[in-house]
Amino acid sequence: MTELSERIQKADWKKEKHVPVIEAPDQVKAGEFFEVKVSLGKEIAHPNTTEHHISWISLYFHPEGEKFTYQVGHFEFSAHGESAAGPNEGPVYTHHEVTASLKVGKPGTLHALALCNIHGLWESSKEIGVS
């Protein structure tokens, strides 16, 4: 039996459109809010069609030296041009990009997971220092 972790794909986001891009400061002040933006397709555009789209992005924080990872947020994208008129004929499309505001008390790692409805789960991570 395979583990779910074996199904999570990683790559360089500059070469692979499915990898989440985490934009956040390298260093933050303990207890002060900062913004984290997670998007896909920064260098190579990802389609956003009824047939091929990003379904969701989840953001996590793992504090340095601790056992557990904490979920920051889970963001679903529900509009991909679907309509009664047919695929890609709908009036609204969501864009696979989110911004979250958070504060941390110690350094750690941000992890982002994204699900492409065709190409599966993709992950990236970014270290965050605290002063």
> What pLDDT, in 10s, does the model give residues 40-81?
989 899 999 999 999 999 999 999 999 999 999 999 999 999
Active-site residue, 74 included: no
* Confidence at residue 84, expressed as pLDDT on a 0 to 100 scale: 95
Pairwise CA distance, residues 65 & 56, whole Å: 28
Q: What is the pTM of this model?
A: 0.94
Range of the structural domain that residue 97 is part of: 4-130
1: confidence class by pLDDT, cuts 50, 70, 90:
confident
Of 55, 60, 75, 56, nearest in space to 24 by CA: 60
**Other CB atoms within 10 A of residue 93 CB:** 15
Which is catalytic among the residues 42, 62, 119, 126?
119
Active-site residue, 126 included: no
Active-site residue, 52 included: yes
What CATH number has the domain bearing residue 106?
Answer: 2.60.40.730
* Confidence at residue 49, expressed as pLDDT on a 0 to 100 scale: 95
Active-site residue, 16 included: yes
Which is catalytic among the residues 14, 52, 103, 106?
52
* Confidence at residue 125, expressed as pLDDT on a 0 to 100 scale: 98
Residue whose structure tokens are 């991909």: 80
| Residues 72/92, Cβ–Cβ less than 8 Å | no
Tally of domains in the chain: 1
